[in-house]
Structure 1
């Protein structure tokens, strides 16, 4: 059974690998035995994480790119193939929200920052599609592999203020299903695509929205906790099991699926 969940000798790319959740994904694939490409815009963090893994006997490479820049991603793919010779998997963890994609309660809804909303929507949707086009081509050449997208509770329920993020993740959900079917039609069971939908985890992007500097929750954070049956935020390490499952042969008959790791948020009716 243990071998089913092993990623030994695999090469996995993690976009958004310099973030908090991305860091947990990087750790997960390394702990399961894979080599990892840590891709992000923060060169310093990417290199520090890669160095720490290599010093402990793992295999890692720092990759600096914006997921919206296809040419930068192609250059990263070249680097990975030169170092490891193949690519077996991809984790599309880049995304998130930005200040211009937030509609504040006091703002006129008919004068919202549409460009800001579009920018956030594009980052989350096309920031998933473009890396898949680039690294997926290498996975196809490897002959077998798994792609894991990162969805969100924002695509399951109407979460206020962040329309662009909501729409971007809803797009990821449909893309996850559509692309999984297309790959099955073209490659059979050799290449799979699935998704993880995290609940609410504290990151640098949402910490100030959900928690107070001195401890405790903001009004928004309190509402999240109230709607989460487990009555807490998630810990990034709690995403590792679902990720390794979807990347490994343990899920070899699973494609187009989504695993909610959310403490029950997505299924709770509030009463």
Structure 2
């Protein structure tokens, strides 16, 4: 029987590929047989990950760029096309929160750092839109492909302190649906767009918010666990299955969808 979950022969770009979740996405597409472009601002990590994949018999290229810089992304696209000749998929994993986008409980809600909130919002929304414009053009040229955006529980439930991140991911959700419809109207089922919405996963950006140095939960981490029926944080590898399904032909009649990988957080009423 044909393996419709296989990505063999495909070329997939992963933005945010130098992060923790991005690293799991990179490993997933390689394990599924694809060649991968590891895109991020950390040149050292991008090169280390690409070298490890190539030495293990896979095919990878390090792409150093800021997802907010279209000119850098265009250069990366040229590098990928020069090496692999095509692009079949895109994972928009770049994003996250920043200290200037956090409102602490003791701070005045009417004196928020609006520039900081906007910076975080732009990173998450436009850091998804801009790479899609650049790499999506090549996916269209290849004739068939899949784009996967990374949403968040922040777009579905009110998560305190991080308004900029909430706004950005809410924008990603609507963009995911709007662009999926536009792609379908123009390309039929040949090019699809979907999203994964992770629950609480420990990353370098949120580790100090959710855990103490000794590994115990902070107050915020404890609240996240309490609201998650599985009563634990997710492991990055637990995102791999949903990603490969959405990138592969196994989901060929799926577009504009959001897959929650959250241990039940999004559906739990707390009672």
TM-score (norm 2): 0.99
1:73-222 pair list within 5 angstroms: 73-222=73-222
Gaps of 5+ in 1: none
Q: What is the Cα deviation at residue 25 of structure 1? A: 0.1
1:226 alignment counterpart: 226
2:31 alignment counterpart: 31
> Equivalents in 2 of 1:269, 1:122: separation in Å?
30
> Equivalents in 2 of 1:173, 1:19: separation in Å?
21
Deviations 1:6-62 (A, max 9, x none): 000000000000000000000000000000000000000000000000000000000
Gaps of 5+ in 2: none
1:24-63 pair list within 5 angstroms: 24-63=24-63
1:266 correspondence with 2:235: no
> Equivalents in 2 of 1:230, 1:112: separation in Å?
34
1:3-14 pair list within 5 angstroms: 3-14=3-14
CA RMSD of aligned residues (A): 0.6
Q: What is the Cα deviation at residue 2 of structure 1? A: 6.1
> Equivalents in 2 of 1:105, 1:208: separation in Å?
17
> Equivalents in 1 of 2:105, 2:116: separation in Å?
16
Q: What is the Cα deviation at residue 215 of structure 1? A: 2.0
TM-score (norm 1): 0.99
Give SS of 1:5's match.
coil
Aligned residues: 271
> Equivalents in 2 of 1:125, 1:215: separation in Å?
32
Q: 1:227 and 1:73, CA in 2 relative to 1: closer, same or farther beyond 3 A?
A: same
Give SS of 2:161's match.
coil
Deviations 1:77-96 (A, max 9, x none): 00000000000000000000
1:235 alignment counterpart: 235
Give SS of 2:3's match.
helix
Give SS of 2:38's match.
strand
Q: What is the Cα deviation at residue 214 of structure 1? A: 1.1
